[in-house]
């Protein structure tokens, strides 16, 4: 497969909140995770796994989200659920995540020929603490509405959906589905829950939530009128679960579409900087050093050692190439 065809195949055509957040945090990390996905062979096949590297604390959050979804799936299917072994379930998920990352670490260290800066020993006490935090958050959310109302049968007509399922809009794949949908009276509630977030619902987050309505009106069996939707967001922040409830109008929906299309345009413009030679020197680095701390590319990225200096060098290389094109 020639380079131009590979570049065309890998051109970003997918939008999700995760992609949007990574694009804004670190354009280089975004390209490394999503820009090489369909190029087979060599080291590129490991890029996704390396990009997914994260801290034990984030692994705990992933375990929490997975457990909540598993609990809802069991209720939906009528499968018996043992509440007594929650800590065991969480521990298994966290340890499983740590084991998977060990194999990724081996790939990184083989590539760099030395011990990775990502390597650290996680002792039993740390794991116990993560399990304790996760258990507390789990019990807190299932005892809060609407989760408690789903579990006790008060909400009878409800459905769960996967964010991995995409909706095609203008030939782009958008991951904008809610986690839970339920019907209450004439209204249809669309809810996403986030295991970590801010204590205030920012405007761009509100627009991201509104995108769920775009998904809903494209689904058979759900209302086609946007006025019948109630948008909900359940977020852990400041030591508690926060619930935000909103309605939307046509302007909100149009704004949500605009921000998604703008993001995709920026993703494609960024990818275009690579060129057929896939020149990473043209891709900006992270905006803050804290983003680099648990990045899987820390050992091989110029910003992993000194972000400020690396960013200056990258900017100079980008300007030099631009000047060369104008000459």
> pLDDT tens across 287-307, in order?
899 999 889 999 999 998 888
- pLDDT at residue 247 greater than cutoff 70: yes
Helix, strand, coil shares of the chain as percentages rounded to 5? 55, 10, 35
For residue range 29-87, list pLDDT tens digits in order: 999 998 876 555 555 667 888 998 999 999 999 999 999 999 999 999 999 998 899 99
Residues 151 and 239 in one domain: yes
What is the structure's pLDDT at 229? 97
Residue 23 falls inside a structural domain: no
Q: Dihedral through CA 289, CA 290, CA 291, CA 292, nearest 10? A: 60
Has residue 28 been placed in a domain?
no
Q: Give the span between the Cα atoms of 262 and 256, in whole angstroms.
A: 10
pLDDT > 90 fraction of the chain, expressed in percent and rounded: 66
Residues 205 and 294 in one domain: no
Residue 225 to residues 86, 148, 318: CA-CA distances in angstroms?
40, 28, 47
Q: Which residues contact 199 (CB under 8 A, 6 or more apart)?
A: 237, 238, 242
pLDDT tens track for 154-177: 999 999 999 999 999 889 999 999
Of 125-129, 143-147, 206-210, the range with the lowest mean pLDDT is 206-210
In a domain, 168, yes or no: yes
Look at residue 205 in the predicted model and tell me its pLDDT: 79
Tell whether the model's pLDDT for residue 1 goes beyond 60: no
Residue 129 is part of which domain span?
A: 44-144+273-326
pLDDT digits (tens, 9 = 90+) for 259-285: 999 999 999 999 998 887 778 989 999
Q: What is the pLDDT of residue 71?
A: 97
Q: How many domains does the chain have?
A: 2
Q: Is 185 part of any domain?
A: yes
Phi, psi of 35 (to 5 degrees): -85, -15
- The answer to whether residues 284 and 322 belong to one domain is yes
Residue 6 falls inside a structural domain: no
- Range of weakest confidence among 43-47, 111-115, 184-188: 43-47
User: Do 129 and 48 belong together in one domain?
Assistant: yes
The answer on 154 and 232 residing in a single domain is yes
pLDDT of residue 279: 86
Question: Among 215, 248, 281, where does a domain finish?
Answer: 248
Q: How confident is the model at residue 310 (pLDDT cuts 50, 70, 90)?
A: confident
Domain co-membership, 136 together with 156:
no
d(CA 141, CA 237): 12
Q: 199 vs 257, which has greater pLDDT?
A: 257
The backbone torsions φ and ψ at residue 202, rounded to the nearest 5 degrees and listed phi first, read -75, 160
Q: What CA–CA distance (Å, rounded) separates 55 from 252?
A: 35
Residues 131 and 65 in one domain: yes
pLDDT of residue 283: 93
**Is 177 part of a structural domain of the chain?**
yes
Query: What distance, in Å, lies between the first and last C-alpha atoms of the chain?
Result: 32
Whether residue 16 contacts residue 259, with contact meaning beta carbons closer than 8 Å, is answered with no
């Amino acid at each position: 497969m020639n380079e131009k065809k590979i570049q065309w195949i890998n051109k970003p055509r997918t939008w999700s909140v995760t992609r949007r957040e990574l694009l804004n945090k670190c354009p280089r990390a975004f390209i490394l995770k999503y820009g090489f996905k369909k190029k087979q062979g060599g080291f590129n096949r490991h890029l996704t796994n390396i990009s997914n590297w994260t801290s034990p604390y984030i692994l705990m959050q992933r375990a929490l989200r997975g457990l909540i979804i598993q609990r809802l799936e069991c209720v939906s299917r009528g499968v018996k659920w043992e509440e007594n072994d929650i800590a065991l379930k969480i521990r298994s998920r966290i340890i499983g995540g740590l084991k998977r990352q060990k194999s990724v670490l081996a790939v990184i260290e083989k590539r760099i020929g030395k011990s990775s800066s990502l390597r650290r020993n996680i002792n039993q006490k740390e794991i116990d603490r993560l399990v304790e935090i996760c258990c507390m958050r789990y019990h807190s959310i299932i005892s809060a509405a609407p989760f408690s109302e789903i579990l006790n049968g008060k909400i009878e007509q409800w459905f769960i959906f996967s964010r991995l399922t995409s909706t095609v809009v203008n030939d782009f794949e958008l991951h904008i589905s809610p986690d839970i949908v339920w019907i209450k009276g004439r209204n249809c509630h669309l809810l996403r829950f986030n295991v970590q977030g801010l204590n205030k619902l920012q405007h761009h987050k509100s627009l991201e939530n509104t995108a769920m309505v775009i998904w809903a009106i494209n689904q058979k069996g759900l209302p086609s009128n946007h006025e019948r939707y109630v948008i909900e967001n359940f977020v852990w922040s400041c030591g508690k679960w926060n619930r935000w409830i909103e309605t939307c109008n046509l302007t909100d929906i149009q704004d949500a579409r605009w921000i998604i299309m703008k993001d995709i345009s920026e993703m494609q413009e960024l990818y275009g900087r690579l060129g057929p030679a896939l020149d990473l020197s043209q891709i900006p680095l992270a905006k803050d050093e804290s983003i680099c701390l648990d990045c899987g590319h820390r050992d091989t990225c110029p910003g992993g050692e000194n972000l400020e200096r690396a960013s200056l060098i990258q900017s100079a290389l980008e300007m030099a190439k631009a000047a060369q094109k104008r000459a």
